Structure 1
Amino acid sequence: MVENVQDKDFLEYVVKSIVGRPEGVSVDRTVDERGVLLTLSISPEDMGYVIGRRGQTAQAIRTLLKIVGAKNNARVNLKINEPEGSQRPARREQRPTADIDTSSVDDLRI
């Protein structure tokens, strides 16, 4: 029986198309009772391209993989390995909230 690897090929194609170092992309495919797990490894410089702003690119890739999996009657999940030595940028401080007028609820006994 030939193993169906359309999902792996699709993921490699998409990721190699958006990163700066396509030679640093590797995808491992494992199948178990829960479905297909694709593990993506990329170079640290390309993490931002794959994750995207607020994780939107990674979420879009996951959605497309679920569609490919549904077409092949398989549940496909994506795991993105964080490269060794990579560092997440420090989160920006949240803006202080403006003074809120609570006078209308001060008399409530909560």
Structure 2
Amino acid sequence: MKALIESIVMSLVDHPESVVVTEQEEDAKVVYHLTVHESDVGKVIGKNGRIAKAIRTVVYAAKTNRDKRIYLDIM
């Protein structure tokens, strides 16, 4: 899942070397923290959060473990 998030986001930003995805697994959920260069935050979020919502939709649809809920946190 980390590779999917990285590949989507790296194609959107100007500084792909600054893209960092960390995974935090808990009992009932998995949280992915996405960090990008501060000049690229707007590109990842998009107008009214449309890009961020689209990224989240793809990630939620691609989840393999049906028991745990997935969250994507963009910083």
Above 0.5 in TM-score? yes
CA distance in 2, matches of 1:56, 1:24: 22
Given the two structures, how large is their TM-score scaled by the length of structure 1? 0.64
What's the RMSD between the two structures over aligned residues?
Answer: 1.0
The superposition leaves residues 29-62 of structure 1 with CA deviations (integer Å, 9 ceiling, x where unpaired) of 0110121100000001101110001100001111
CA distance in 2, matches of 1:20, 1:46: 7
Secondary structure of 2:23's partner? strand
Tell me the residue number matched to 2:40: 46
CA distance in 2, matches of 1:9, 1:34: 22
Is it true that 1:9 corresponds to 2:20 in the alignment?
A: no
Which stretches in structure 1 are left out of the alignment for 5+ residues?
1-6, 82-110
Equivalences for residues 95-106 of structure 1 within 5 A: none
How many corresponding residue pairs? 74
Identity %: 35
CA distance in 2, matches of 1:68, 1:36: 13
Which stretches in structure 2 are left out of the alignment for 5+ residues?
none
Secondary structure of 1:77's partner? strand
Runs (4 or more) in structure 1 with deviation over 3 Å come to none
Higher relative contact order (CA 8 A, sep 6+): 2
CA distance in 2, matches of 1:80, 1:48: 11
Given the two structures, how large is their TM-score scaled by the length of structure 2? 0.91
